[in-house]
Structure 1
Amino acid sequence: MRARVAGAALAFAAVLAFAAPLSAQRGPEIEIAEPFKVGTFEIDGVPRVALVLRDALIVDIGEANGDLERNPVYPPVPAPADMIDLIGRYEYGVRLRLYEIVNDLVARGGLSGSGRADFVHDLEDVRVLPPIMYPGKILNAAVNFYSHVNEAGSEEERREARRQRRENRGVPYLFLKPTRGAVIGADDRIVIPFGRDRTDWEVELGAVIGRSAKYVDARDAQDHVFGYTVTIDVSDRGGRPPGGNPMTSDWFVGKGHDTFAPMGPWIVPKEFYGDPMEQLRQTLDVGEERMQEATAGDMIHTLWELIEYGSSVATLFPGDVINNGTSGGVGMGTAVRGETRFLQPGEVVSASIDGIGTLTLEVVAETEPAGGTGARLPPVRSYRGNR
């Protein structure tokens, strides 16, 4: 490995281009040479937790940590085994080590040219996996943007529904989204389930929990957040077939299919993003057509209120994700385009949040499964006919 300059860890201030003080941990304050994001990537066939620099360079944390520790200036710190481990230990030594890795690479020219470290990879040379494999739970906020209230109604009906909602906000509505199977990364594809021809899109901000939370006050909720990511709440609007159980709303059918929880492409630690309630801007395109665009000013309940409500029902643990809800412009609504519009095989969905990144996925159709006894979820056309 390349030689080190003794005491280099104490001389980084001269090369700093971005200042983000590290004061939540014991020991001297340290600044970071440039901001980073974190994600999970398949490198040489193995999932690896990594730093993302300049939205283009992937730094294998395990390899970088081992390289750093060859210099006796740096004490041993166990590298995170996965993203949940990184999040859980971020405030207990991992953040300091990640700052040291970035500072060391910048100081010695380890990101480019002839001095580039072997553990620094180009984004296009790795496979982008979901940043968290996999959250313990995902909580999504239902109808949490005023522009999403009664999207299928007339203009007068929408106006009245939003007026009523402003006057009676109540408490948030959260529902559980499956994790493993539903959560996919930027290099995966959204699969339209066989026979389910009303697949919809919803771009959302995902707040990743960093510290366990139970009965957290909204005013303190930000302290329990690790960072932020882009998510898509893919939805099946086909509903249940008639007969049997009289329940008319089936959230498992609507939200629970495989591939219906895209996440990524990475996570921005909160110190590099700021307050989402002040700067959030989230958009979604299908192909070249802009379907959704909204800011935090359209939200009914703040992200912090969602965390307060969610933590009053179930303890939130590091790596859990709370999604902030979506705005007007979903496929089932008629307010934006004047007609319903659902995803088709071959289309490409791109969800973006300013300051975080863009999650782009191709849409494909599932082939018809064989067998079954009749208890399987049937095609929508079998009970609703053509659209």
Structure 2
Amino acid sequence: MQLIVCGLGGAGSRIADTVAAADERGSRSAVVDTVALDTDQGSLADLETIPEDNRHLYGTLTGSGRGFDGHRNRGQEAADEELTELFRAVDDLATSRGDAFLLCTSLAGGTGATLLPTLAAELREVYGVPIYGVGVLPETERTETTDQQRRAANAGKAVDPVLEATDALFVFDNALWTKTAESAAEPEVRTRLNETLATRLIALFEAGEADRSGRVAESVVDASEVINTLSEGRIVALGYATQEIERPTESRFGLGLFTKEVDLDETTAIKAIETTVRRAVNGKLTVDVDRGAVERGLLVTGGPPEWLNRRAIADARSWLAQETGSVEIRGGDIPTPDTDEILALVVLAGIGDCQRLAELRAAAENE
């Protein structure tokens, strides 16, 4: 599936930048073009992958190019005043080649979360393709400062307008992924979190694409499969797991020299697929959700073609359907001959709500 990736605000632009970098490194490509729209000149300058011509500063009359420090009212005012120019910045991209827009933002800030609904509405008037959102939730602290309380309230105010504006919202909870005594504001931590999110997004959207040598999956996840899974504008959680594998070999002369690959035992492949899929589903998701609230799902498995056992993958899909209670579990594979690992990506979609978002809405009401 081919994407137009838009970074909105500082955090959203960094996420878009990381997604673009991950796409460039991969054996497949799902990113057609990228753009960053922000009110902080310094944050735009720090981006590494999005071309400089595609980085756009706005809100300078009220923010002086230094951002709005989480003030939603100022962010909304700037978005409304400069919407025409911001839309043009996106419209100037190679939009005709995109199957969907991916709008990335932090829900806790004052820039991206206020721009996203406004920009999405304008894009929907012109383009007949899905608009997906990526929304990052703030971390939590035992003793919250005034700034942290405001960020939580901001996220609570932002989530419903963003959900209404998008066809689906990929939620990533920083509170779930930061370790004790860490802060998502620390550059190293922030980079790790963004790469964690980007890895999962790229695995999903590259699944239906041919690799750079032209090879296509046996069971393709085409754009329509993704669109059908992500329909109805609700929350999406992603699960992901990998497992290293050891390709079976034998020595030609029994001396441990001149080894060659031999046929893979089917039981070994089945066990590897089963284990990896269960870890993806039962492990840490991008946001904690009730598996029973899932209406639709998508299972993507990847690895060397000989390890992608058809029976094991079919059984894994059936198991996922039982775990979620959903009758709409789609699937596909990513054959990668030169890798030494199995991967499983699980998309849990159509989720109406989750505890974390309810807590943030409560924070907004109590502000």
Q: What TM-score bracket applies, with the shorter chain setting the length?
A: under 0.3
TM-score (norm 1): 0.24
Q: What is the TM-score normalised by the length of structure 2?
A: 0.25
Max radius of gyration: which structure? 1
Report the structure, 1 or 2, having the larger helix content.
Answer: 2
